[in-house]
Amino acid sequence: MLAALGEVIATDRSSLDLADGAAIRRAVREARPELIVNAAAYTAVDRAESEQELAMQVNAVAPGLLAEEAKRLGALLVHYSTDYVFDGEKRTPYTEEDRPNPVSHYAHSKLEGERSIAAAGCRHLILRVSWVYGPRASNFYQAIARKAAAGEAMRMVDDQTSVPTPSSFVAEYTVAMLRKEASGLLHLVPSGSATRYEFAREVVAVTQSRSRVEPAATAEFPAPARRPVYSALDNRTAAALLGARLPHWKSVLGAVLLR
């Protein structure tokens, strides 16, 4: 989708290691872009508890270096952050004005990434997203879809709430934001919210699967890292900028399932 805005120079982990600061600076200086989109991150939430230095390097130091290079070039930096920067103590959707309070090292490293970008003083657009999923790569949607296709029973956590967000939604609305010349910090998620149990039930219903979905408590699945029990993001600022209400998570799920 970014190709609609101009020539795209893409890198992957094999061609650019975000733990290598010199490589980051070299790649940006060779490309001399007008727009930098950082869609990479250390996302292994539990492993980040034991790989804290690496998580901080990729999620905090690397974005700061990109921001410094963007500042030098006068480029715009687009960076993705997470709903996990909040502690989950609130019970209404978090706005951009709410104070972050991360409860895991992964979340802490993502918040430090936001701060390092702001401190660099470059033109930037930080988009917080949540529970990103898609038909490719490994994510919770893939696990649910496989079980639904096989008609297998599943137990899904019913005491964590956020906003399921397709990667295709993030890509589409990132371009929309850029066309509106958005900047600063925005929450970019569909409307509504759900638990993972509710999300799984919707996948089963839409696909007309025979799978039985039963609710479970987070405590039944011990993990090294804490997750916020409530981290739904308020998308009204983004909607106002775009001039239209953002679609509900159920409708964008349907679009993913039909692909």
CA 125 to CA 65: how far, in whole Å? 15
Residues 6+ apart with CB under 8 A from 217: 157, 158, 159
CA 176 to CA 21: how far, in whole Å? 31
Classify residue 48 by its DSSP letter: G
CA 122 to CA 36: how far, in whole Å? 11
Q: Which of 42, 80, 94, 106 is catalytic?
A: 106
3-state secondary structure of 34: coil
Cβ(163)–Cβ(131) below 8 Å = yes
Q: Is 106 among the catalytic positions? A: yes
**Runs of H (alpha helix) within the chain:** 21-31, 52-56, 62-73, 105-120, 140-150, 167-179, 196-207, 236-242, 249-257
Q: What are the catalytic residues?
A: 106
